[in-house]
Amino acid sequence: MDILGTSLRVCVNDLDEAVAVYERLTGAEALRFTRGGVSVAAVGCFFLMSGPETELSILRKITATIAVKDVDEAVADLRAVGAQIVAGPLPTPIGRNLVARHPDGSVFEYVDRKAVA
């Protein structure tokens, strides 16, 4: 699997306030989108997330988001090492994602930028 980068997930109470801080720290402009009931801002290597606590409590269990070249390839490699695919692959606004639990118990989201046919 080709890992292209990693983004850290940060749950915040006030997304606008957090965006201003992280834009200043990273020098990057936020890209905003909504997924389910959660508002997200991608700023540099950070995913800032704000929304209902019921949804954030689930998202907090995912350590990081890992960008990969191909989610299907990631599934094969993850299964080969004994990881459990918890969710996905599923289409997203920018590609596909999946959530996997590694054999050590760590949970990560894997994403690619491949359009869904």
Provide the domain count of the chain: 1
pLDDT tens digits, 104-113 = 999 999 999 8
Residue 29 carries which side chain, given as an amino acid letter?
E
Asked if 46 and 7 count as a contact pair (C-beta separation under 8 A), the reply is yes
Residue 59 carries which side chain, given as an amino acid letter?
L
**Within a domain: residue 55?**
yes
Give the CATH number of the domain where residue 21 resides. Answer: 3.10.180.10
| 100: β partners | 85, 108
**Within a domain: residue 117?**
no
pLDDT tens digits, 26-78 = 999 999 988 888 999 999 999 999 999 999 988 899 989 999 999 999 999 99
Containing structural domain, residue 70: 3-112
DSSP alpha helices (H): ranges in 27-69?
Answer: 53-59
**Within a domain: residue 18?**
yes
Strand locations in 1-117 (E):
3-11, 31-35, 38-43, 46-50, 64-68, 84-92, 95-101, 107-112
How far, rounded to the nearest angstrom, does the alpha carbon of residue 104 sit from its chain's CA centroid? 19
**Within a domain: residue 42?**
yes
